[in-house]
Amino acid sequence: MTPDEFREYGKQVVDWIADYLTNVESLPVRAQVAPGDVRRALPEHPPEHGEGFAEILADLDRIVLPGITHWQHPSFFAYYPSNTSGPAILGDLLSSGLGVQGMLWATSPACTELETVVVDWLAELLGLPAHFRTDDAGGGVIQDSASSASLLAIVAALHRSSGGTIAQAGLTGRHTLYVSSETHSSLAKGARVAGVGAENVRIVDVDPKTLAMDPVALDRMLAEDIAAGAVPVLVCATVGTTSTAAVDPVRAVGEVCRRHGVWLHVDAAYAGVAAVCPELRSLHDGVAEYADSYATNPHKWLLTNFDCTVMWVADRTPLLGALAIHPEFLRNAATSTGAVVDYRDWQISLGRRFRALKLWTVLRWYGAEGLRAHIRTGLAQAAKLAAWVAEDPDFELHEPQTLGLVCFRPRWPGRKPEEADAATLRLMETLNDSGALYLTHTKIAGRVVLRMALGGTRTEQRHVEAGWRAIRDAAST
């Protein structure tokens, strides 16, 4: 494709996306296809001869689009938002167009240095401590996802606790990790990948009301495990759990970690970015004093296209010690001087895209005040919805309602718990099948609960109202 063809088709694609974002509201939120529908509509064999771009775009409309669940639909309330925004899409596009690979500083200095700057900027915006900065002992880096950050935290923690012997000789003995029932599954996955094993992921009790980790129970479990000969490696405290947006008491958990010499990873994937608002800075209470690693996802609620997780470490030495390998083919003058950061030593992969561009375009286009306004819009929508639910005698609100998530269920008076749960799931399927909105569920204290997550880039108050109306109507029929 020549640059001039690219110019022509590129503008068609930009128009396609602008039209898509304008019209996405008119599409069913959740794809209405059955398994295999999309696959069957596509040719079984690859094309021998090249095709025109118009044909590709036509098939995008005809085959792909009906199979899309529209995460950017204003009535997408499932999971957590996965914000896109115009500047983020364009930052991503610039990254694709430049096509550089930033594994080393030398392979594109701007790719590395812009990343260092934007993660330092973000640390400042979120009130994270100065020692997270790359010019201090720590440093920030963009990862693809918080799952990778979890795995890397485990690997770095194992490196520190073993004095580096695991990287050389491999794992021996029993190494334990500490999570709660509400911790993201990436910790369990990371434990398997790192060779720790699922059985050594210890589940700490939560407060039954707030679903926050109980630091006293953690302390007790750590003491017992140490007495039994285990080597505790890492505790994960979550700021905004996946299920209910619960917030673990980072400071109290951190004090326990410090006492036992255990690495504290703070998984703030969902909620950390909300601290861009000073009134939510308390989400990070204890992070400065106790967190050894911390991750949050601008790709969830901060208007930056997936994938963009920012992970910081308080001390980069264990992370780099665990991961750095210097083969001859990567040797270069800049690395030898030690004057530069080579981000390949901060991640699983060697190669890396120029993801900092999209975070840069987002931070500049919106500015701190624009980001705060976006977070506050989601918070206000959630608070309003929670108030409606609380006022409605047919529904039960899960409290405390926190941040941009509202969890609730119909009361289904007169039904046994298991019947009520089945009815709640049926209600959700009916709503999702309608295409008018998209919800997911979770379980709280064993009971099925609906989750309605606000904070979508295009979600306005009227969408929340319409969603709530649809839920009430469906529950009462």
Q: Which is nearer to a copy of itself, 84 or 401 (CB)?
A: 84
Q: Which is nearer to a copy of itself, 238 or 305 (CB)?
A: 305
C-alpha–C-alpha distance, residues 68 and 64, integer Å: 7
- What are the distances in angstroms from CA 210 to CA 29, 117, 400, 458, 460? 31, 36, 7, 30, 28
The nearest distance, CB 231 to a copy of itself, in angstroms, is 11
The nearest distance, CB 249 to a copy of itself, in angstroms, is 22
Q: Which is nearer to a copy of itself, 75 or 108 (CB)?
A: 108
C-alpha–C-alpha distance, residues 455 and 404, integer Å: 6
The nearest distance, CB 217 to a copy of itself, in angstroms, is 21
* Cβ-based burial of 423 (10 A; exposed 0-12, middle 13-18, buried ≥19): middle
Q: Which is nearer to a copy of itself, 118 or 252 (CB)?
A: 118
Give which of 394, 331, 435 is closest to 103, Cα–Cα: 331
- What are the distances in angstroms from CA 190 to CA 17, 203, 324, 365? 36, 15, 19, 35
Give which of 368, 405, 333 is closest to 81, Cα–Cα: 405
The nearest distance, CB 393 to a copy of itself, in angstroms, is 27
The nearest distance, CB 441 to a copy of itself, in angstroms, is 8
Q: Which is nearer to a copy of itself, 87 or 286 (CB)?
A: 87
What is the DSSP code string of 243-291?
TT--B--HHHHHHHHHHHT-EEEEE-TTTGGGGGSGGGGGGGTTHHHH-
How distant is the alpha carbon of residue 218 from its chain centre? Answer: 25
The nearest distance, CB 317 to a copy of itself, in angstroms, is 15
Q: Is 235:290 a contact under the CB 8 Å cutoff?
A: no
Terminal-to-terminal C-alpha distance of the chain: 56
For residue 396, give both structure tokens.
């039960």
Rounded to 10°, the helix 356-391/109-125 angle is 30
Q: Which is nearer to a copy of itself, 214 or 307 (CB)?
A: 307
C-alpha–C-alpha distance, residues 172 and 160, integer Å: 15
Q: Edge-to-edge strand order for the sheet containing 139-143? A: 139-143, 309-313, 293-296, 263-267, 231-238, 175-180, 201-204
The nearest distance, CB 411 to a copy of itself, in angstroms, is 21
The nearest distance, CB 42 to a copy of itself, in angstroms, is 5
The nearest distance, CB 376 to a copy of itself, in angstroms, is 15
Q: Which is nearer to a copy of itself, 293 or 305 (CB)?
A: 305
Q: Which is nearer to a copy of itself, 37 or 224 (CB)?
A: 37
Q: Which is nearer to a copy of itself, 19 or 394 (CB)?
A: 19
C-alpha–C-alpha distance, residues 180 and 192, integer Å: 17
The nearest distance, CB 353 to a copy of itself, in angstroms, is 6
How distant is the alpha carbon of residue 399 from its chain centre? Answer: 23
Q: Which is nearer to a copy of itself, 227 or 325 (CB)?
A: 325
For residue 438, give both structure tokens.
């998209």
